[in-house]
């Protein structure tokens, strides 16, 4: 038992480091782009991302399809299609492909907000999901 615990802790550390990698890279990129656009330093905020993710706008919120706990699988409210967890800790494939991430931000922000999400909003959501 004494040998298993350190091995589990070490495996957990490396697993979390690997999961955080792509999300951390995306967050850094979004913050840099938003900072250039704003002309001042922009940082993603997990607390703003949490509020953004759960706030209902008109008919939907992000959590309408992605669940109140983004570590859980969701389901699209219209099509019924299953959606893998949003949090990188539960789904290591999240935020590994920038083009795919941009596509889904465009599509989902349009559905939920009726507009494109700002780079700041995207950074906030990625910061929130990465913190879970």
| CATH code of 95's domain | 1.10.760.10
The residue with greater pLDDT, 48 or 19, is 48
The residue with greater pLDDT, 61 or 19, is 61
pLDDT at position 21 is 86
Which helix (H) or strand (E) segment holds residue 111: the answer is helix 98-113
Query: pLDDT (tens digit, 9 = 90+) per residue, 61-94?
Result: 999 999 999 999 999 999 999 999 999 999 999 9
Q: Which candidate, 34, 22, 31, 20, places its Cα nearest to that of 100?
A: 22
Work out the burial of residue 72: count CB atoms within 10 Å of its CB; fewer than 13 is exposed, 13-18 middle, 19 or more buried: middle
Domain count, the chain: 1
Structural domain boundaries enclosing 100: 4-131
Query: pLDDT (tens digit, 9 = 90+) per residue, 41-67?
Result: 999 999 999 999 999 988 899 999 999
> 127 is written with which tokens?
């910061």
CA–CA separation, 10 and 112 (whole Å)? 40
């Amino acid at each position: 038992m004494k040998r298993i615990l350190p091995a589990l802790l070490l495996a957990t550390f490396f697993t979390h480091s690997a999961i955080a990698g792509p999300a951390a890279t995306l967050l850094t990129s979004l913050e840099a782009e938003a900072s250039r656009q704003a002309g001042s330093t922009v940082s993603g905020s997990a607390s703003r991302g949490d509020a953004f993710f759960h706030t209902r706008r008109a008919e939907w919120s992000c959590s309408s399809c992605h669940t109140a706990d983004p570590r859980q699988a969701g389901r699209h409210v219209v099509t019924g299609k299953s959606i893998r967890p949003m949090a990188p800790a539960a789904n290591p494939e999240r935020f590994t492909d920038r083009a795919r991430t941009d596509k889904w931000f465009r599509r989902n922000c349009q559905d939920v907000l009726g507009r494109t999400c700002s780079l700041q909003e995207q950074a906030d959501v990625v910061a929130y999901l990465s913190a879970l």
